Amino acid sequence: MRPHCVLLDRDGVINHDSDAYILGVDEWEPLPGSLAAIARLTRAGIPVAVCTNQSARARGLISAAGLAAIHRRMTAAIETAGGQLAGVFVCPHGPTDDCDCRKPAPGLLHQALEALGCAPEKALFIGDSRRDLDAARGAGVTAWLVRTGNGRRTEADGGTAVPVYDDLAAAVEALLQ
């Protein structure tokens, strides 16, 4: 099935992840092949959106303006590579805030699907963690796992029962074949 839209986790899928969070524009570094993969989806006419937990906001480690600057850099890098994002959806809450948008809850994916006008059964979510897979399942969206970021650890923990790819580029290659 060729999806009508693709939703992506950010840290560990598009860019390098950090246990200390990505707190500045200079810390945002794309993973090899990720920008070109998003460009391939754009050229194929598949809208792409980002769905990302950013608890550094709730922890007071980054301002809304700082996070927006990171997303401007990410968007500009994607556009320079020939891609386009249909949206960036952020959960700014912490793990104990009991919101419905922090993955593994499905709310963030629901927001993106509604904004894109994409039915859950026609969407694909690509992530690198158990919470990404759980959010997709909760939203009724097909999920794929990449081994970048936390993906290898997630795969090693077992029970993923989803297709697994080395990185976003490999996932997009499989999707577009």
Q: Which of 27, 12, 23, 5 is nearest to 130 (CA)?
A: 12
**Is residue 32 domain-resident?**
yes
Structure tokens belonging to residue 52: 């990302």
Please check whether residue 105 is in contact with residue 99, taking contact to mean a CB–CB distance below 8 angstroms: yes
- Does residue 4 belong to any structural domain of this protein? no
What tens digit of pLDDT does each residue of 61-77 get?
999 999 999 999 999 99
Mean predicted lDDT score pLDDT of the chain: 97
Query: Does residue 1 lie within any of the structural domains?
Result: no
In eight-state DSSP terms, residue 87 is E
Is residue 50 domain-resident?
Answer: yes
Picking from 123, 152, 120, the residue whose alpha carbon sits closest to that of residue 2 is 123
* Residue 90: its H or E element: strand 87-91
- Minimal CA–CA distance to 52: which of 81, 84, 26, 90? 90
Q: What is the pLDDT of residue 158?
A: 85
Q: Is residue 25 part of a domain?
A: yes
Residues forming the active site: 9, 11
111: CB partners within 8 A, 6+ apart: 51, 89, 101
Domain that holds residue 45: 10-176
Which residue ranges are tagged as binding site for Mg(2+)? 9, 11, 128
Q: Is residue 83 part of a domain?
A: yes
DSSP state of 61: S
Annotated binding site: 9, 11, 91, 93, 99, 101, 128
33-42 pLDDT tens trace: 999 999 999 9
In tens, the pLDDT along 107-160 reads 999 999 999 999 999 999 999 999 999 999 999 999 999 999 999 999 999 878
Specify the CATH number for the domain of residue 171: 3.40.50.1000
φ and ψ at residue 162, rounded to 5 degrees: -135, 160
In a domain, 133, yes or no: yes
5 in a structural domain: no
Number of structural domains, the chain? Answer: 1
